[in-house]
Structure 1
Amino acid sequence: MRRFCILFLLIISFSGIAQKSKIPVYAWMGGPGEATDSELRETFLGLKKRGIDGLLYNGGHDPETYKRVGGLVKEAQMEFHTWIPTMVQGDPELKPEWYGVSGLGESAYDKQPYVSYYKFLCPNKEEVYQYLSDLYESIADIPEVDGIHLDYIRFPDVILARGLWEKYGLIQDREFPQYDFCYCDTCTSDFKDKSGIDIKKVEDPSQIGEWKQYRYDVVSKLVNHLAEMVHRKNKKINAAVFPGPSIAKKLVRQEWNTWNLDAFFPMNYNDFYMGNTLWIGSVVKEETAAVPDRPVYSGLFICPRPEEKAHEEDPEGHGLLPEELGDAIRESMENGAKGICLFTPGRMTDAHWEALEKAIHLNYSD
């Protein structure tokens, strides 16, 4: 009888473990706005109950905001990573000469490509290094913060994802100078010293491989500088990156497989690239092969109004339908992703949450 009871308890125990098994799920989220502590606590507890393990949270630059919100996130037993854009900075106190310059000689401080918030700093200036180091250090010092999540850690899109061309009325079948950065004196003179090439005198800079590599390296150097600082604080550092890194290199000069980060969150937003869920699987396969020793969390773009997607002209309103979410997760996991990241919980419908609940508890290791 005693042996039977022990066997029964073991069966119950292992059944419980199997039921609790799930893949890691993160989510990008902004706030807190005017929300009270009580409202935030309810939100975070609800997300935890739905299977979210960690938040990449954007709340501005104020350390006190992250201390407050981080404490509530930790109460809900989720990880808390601060999602703070890097190169895009609209602070009016920053100096105009810190900003990037296009191939037409126009500063992103005065004339932004595509949208008004695209005020990209130049990643090759000592003043920018110091500003960003101070910013992220002040956040990394907060006990409630588990990690720093970088975003917009790149140059402006020299070429937009194909699914965005119509929105901006563009045909970007090659690199155009008004979207090509950075041609400030610091970058061009430094490149000339290193390569002997005066890039300002080159008829078609897009044909100069050394010039592309130089800009990959400039971004990578900044990232690794920030990573070293954050690691000294015994905190994690990760980043939202473009897919690939082949696509990331081509579109935004991100050679992110050279970055000394703890994890990567590629934005595998298939609709932007005119792809289906199979496209997600193919790009995740490339991503995980590029950084085999570090986790990749596949970023999934959610359609907020599934019933209107077919008639929605703005691709920002597109994304994964509830019936596609399970396939997107499967493609991600079976091609090596450690987990997924949702953009965003606020875009998820009840049907999305139901699909997520099923998908995150499946075994993808077979």
Structure 2
Amino acid sequence: MKYFDHAATTPPYEDVIRTVGEVMAQHFGNPSSLHRMGEDSGKLLSKAREVCAHALQVNPGEIVFTSGATESNNLAIRGAMARYRQRGNHIVTTTVEHASVYETCRHLEQQGCEVTYVPVQANGAVRVEDVLAAVTDNTVLVSVMHVNNEVGAVQPIAEIGRALKNRHPRVLFHVDGVQGFGKLPLSIQDSRIDLYSLSAHKFRGPKGTGLLYVREGVHLTQLLTGGGQEGGLRSGTENIPYIVGMTKAMRMAAERQPALASHWSKLSRELHEGLAGLPGLVVNSSPDGAPHIVHFSYPGIKAEAMLHMLEEEGFLVSTQSACSSKRSEPSRVLLAMQKGKDCSLSGIRISLGEEHTEEDVRQLLGAVKRTMERLQIVKGGNR
């Protein structure tokens, strides 16, 4: 089977698997304990924080370890709105955010917050001026993802951050960086980002581990109370083996990013060109988007049918995002891009990994073509 679903999760590096096992066996002390084993675990935790900070070019004290992007996004949004409620109760975000941002904002609306969902253009990207126009005197937070998890649209993060801070310096800027880190370069400092979320399993680290960058001077209300770990922002005993594993994966992803982006861009162009040449198929992603995500629809056929036929051909792809793929609903992202209901019910995401070759891409294109031919018979029989 050829795995083309790296945007959902990635296979951990062998070095990461080995490191997690070694740390779990040899350094199982609680980093809050005062004895030698606790101190050894505490040193590993401090070193991991330094390595993560170096990869992001920030200070170690600005790194908060979490269970993953969902917790990081919730801590950033809920924590900021609770901490700065005297400033207002308004959030600005987009119509195409990941569910961990979008649904959090929807829930906060039920609790009395005001949320503006900025629409996107046909390519899935927002316009900087539209984001800025949504900011009011009551705005506490702007939250915009770096790379869309479904179609790979890249948002103008640096331009939004700089313009936002020039006009509204007190408004916090949160970025969900889950699909961007290790794929595209982004300077947290130059982009004037206050809060930045990551999840380890998106860059070949272990599941259940992530981090939140919290700029020095920004304060959040904690979601979890208890022992006061992670500077009081995330109580609970730190998962040292997985944090160290994430750190190793993060360093490797940062080092390999330029070469991998070039490799993926070449494969992505071939996929876009091949898919665009298949009659009746609609390509929803752009060659100018994130290099590792290609997205298309086959209107009139439910996405699950094509997914399972491609699996029979030996290729694993996905529908929508992994968090939403089991729901038989139109894609919220494609609807926001004005793709229409038929396209939004038939979307297929291909996401690339380090192991993929040009031959893999050619074989996948052949499988898509054969699957379409089989489905044409089904479509014809349903008329």
TM exceeds 0.5? no
Structure ranking higher on relative contact order (CA contacts 8 Å, 6+ apart): 2
Using the size of structure 1 for normalisation, the TM-score is 0.27
